[in-house]
Chains A and B, each alone.
Chain A
């Protein structure tokens, strides 16, 4: 509790240099990566994808198909990596787990009344348990944005701590801040600090249901928070931008941002993930372009 109070006090003094963040990001986006470095970066990005389907219209077959896609991204291209995880709603975890058996791909489940997070703690814990019982390797929770805006930081903190406790040591918890609803970079920083000190293994930008979802400036603020936390405690926290990252160039910009903010240690799917559904195909098209020399068409890549 002592730490909580310390963070909460510090939190009110947070002030992010918005202009500095914008400037740093515009320097990153002005760069471009070519040839071998590009191919290497694209393969790395593929291997960091949490291939996601979070639709009301999800069906058993849709999830099966997505799992297949995760394991066989594009068989025409030799030696491609797989994605890092398949991300689904809790009721599909069992199915995904069974489909992915032996592939090394994790199953991530959203939980805690995703995407709004508007429910009681009991319901959220039950939701999380449902995912865990079905065998989820990772849980993606959402914070209570309403409580956050009301200044009830302790509530938000305790909730995250409780869900982490439910997950236990072996299941990694990704905490979604839903930065599109937080209003300012200062708030993004505050929420990041709360999430990390409360025990999250990953902090994640968005649910993908709110626009804007992940952006480079927001991601940079969160990466800086991770860096400070690492210096403070020695604990490494992962980062997952999610939503709206649909092209290869942007994915490479994210990787540059990670490398130059946190370093190589974070450049594995253990510590960095992309939450995305259409990014994989764009990367595959780019890789095929590099391999064959011809610009590609969506017609020749499986949808999911």
Chain B
């Protein structure tokens, strides 16, 4: 697990065993508990303000850096994906798509604002701007079917606008979540911005969705009961809920600037204009 820039073991002392395609045991993983999650929220909350105050350009550079570090260790990730059942070709493709996707979102960091914001016409001597701001602390249940691309596709669009996040990695393909945390740890991402838990979704969803200090939640999957529960729980503090189902995470449909704006809030602000109309030059 990766919480607040550190690699703690779960406070619960529990673990689960990962198996490869042949059914052989390959690793014991921490089975994260609600208290691990609680600690992660505290870290994410602390990290949110400084991270969202960084310039878009700087966040962009840091996302590029994650991509670079991932590229440097691609052999390891290919190997881990193959251990979890991918063929060589599939593993190659997943790692390369993951690197590309990080670069894709890095590029959007200082651009999504321009295409999503506006200057609104108003009657009066004012500018009226609508701009986007990050929502805050976001929890996410990463897709179960992909180990690496799932994590990357969830984390990148959330953090690029300045949110901090707590992500539950795929339970059955958890192996490379820890290696990916190591990549993040060596990529200038401040501790607490990205927190990765491993464990059981069904157990953690109630906490991911009820925590009052979480502002938004992303669920990737199609379990009807979970979706229903998340929607009900989110009403407690009006969390913004994003559900993603039936997406092929390897395809281009899994990346879009709209994935960034899903985790932002719209703010409209008024600013006086010195002069307006034909009487003279204003700004």
Contacts and interface: CB of A to CB of B under 8 A. Distances in A.
Interface string B212-224: 1100000000000
B240 interface: no
Contacts of A293: 210
B9 interface: no
A296 interface: yes
A295 B237 CA distance: 11
A294 B211 CA distance: 6
A295 B38 contact: yes
A293 B236 CA distance: 12
Interface string A266-294: 00000000000000000000000000011
A295 B209 CA distance: 10
Interface in B22-66: 38, 41
A299 B239 CA distance: 13
Contacts, number: 23
A293 B41 CA distance: 16
A231 interface: no
B207 interface: yes
Contacts of A297: 211-213, 237
A299 B213 contact: yes
B177 to A, nearest CB: 23
A129 B211 CA distance: 49
A295 B236 contact: no
Secondary structure class of chain B's binding surface, majority of residues: loop
Interface in B232-257: 236-237
Interface residues of B, number: 9
Interface of B: 38, 41, 207, 210-213, 236-237
A297 B213 CA distance: 4
23 contacts: A293-B210, A294-B210, A294-B211, A294-B212, A294-B236, A295-B38, A295-B41, A295-B207, A295-B210, A295-B211, A295-B212, A295-B213, A296-B212, A296-B213, A297-B211, A297-B212, A297-B213, A297-B237, A298-B213, A299-B212, A299-B213, A300-B212, A300-B237
A297 B210 CA distance: 11
A120 B38 CA distance: 51
Interface residues of A, number: 8
A228 to B, nearest CB: 39
Nearest to B211: A295
A121 B38 CA distance: 51
Nearest to A293: B210
Interface of A: 293-300
Contacts of B207: 295
Contacts of B236: 294
A296 B38 CA distance: 10
Contacts of A295: 38, 41, 207, 210-213
Contacts of A296: 212-213
Closest 5 A-B residue pairs measured CB to CB?
A297-B213, A297-B212, A294-B210, A295-B211, A296-B212
Nearest to A300: B212
A293 B210 CA distance: 9
B8 to A, nearest CB: 17
* Residue from B207, B213, B237 with most neighbouring chain A CB atoms (10 Å): B213
Contacts of B38: 295
A170 B236 CA distance: 49
Contacts of B212: 294-297, 299-300
Nearest to A295: B211
B234 to A, nearest CB: 12
A124 B236 CA distance: 53
A239 to B, nearest CB: 30
A208 B211 CA distance: 32
Contacts of A294: 210-212, 236
Contacts of A300: 212, 237
Nearest to A288: B212
A215 B210 CA distance: 34
B56 to A, nearest CB: 26
B249 to A, nearest CB: 30
Most buried by B among A293, A295, A296, A299: A295
Contacts of B237: 297, 300
A283 to B, nearest CB: 16
A303 to B, nearest CB: 15
A294 B207 CA distance: 8
A32 to B, nearest CB: 11
A50 B196 CA distance: 39
A268 B212 CA distance: 32
Nearest to A294: B210
B166 to A, nearest CB: 12
A223 B158 CA distance: 50
Contacts of A298: 213
Contacts of B210: 293-295
A24 B83 CA distance: 49
A77 to B, nearest CB: 14
Contacts of B213: 295-299
A151 B106 CA distance: 64
A148 to B, nearest CB: 38
Contacts of B41: 295
A288 to B, nearest CB: 8
A60 B196 CA distance: 46
A74 to B, nearest CB: 13
A297 B212 CA distance: 5
